[in-house]
Amino acid sequence: METKFKEILAQYTTLSADEITESTRFRDDMALSSLDFMTLLGEVEDEFDIEFEESDAVGIFTVGDALALIGRKTGNE
């Protein structure tokens, strides 16, 4: 799951999947706009067959935050 998620993230930034860590921040380190972030979440929903609530997105600041949420949503914590 982590590898696939990082591969998806790499499409939205100049960082390679190998450079992305759990502490990588979406806005500060990856410079994702709000629109990019929402598009990313939609792609992640499709890839992992999950659905995010609006309240879920508010608490995601780092790759680690997103991975934890995906784990909870997929039952792979």
CATH number among 1.10.1200.10, 3.90.1010.10, 3.40.50.2000, 3.40.30.10, domain 2-74: 1.10.1200.10
Q: Domains of the chain: which residue ranges?
A: 2-74
Is 64 strand, coil or helix? helix
pLDDT at 77: 65
Model-level pTM?
0.89
> What are the tens digits of pLDDT across the range 27-63?
999 999 989 999 999 999 999 999 998 888 888 999 9
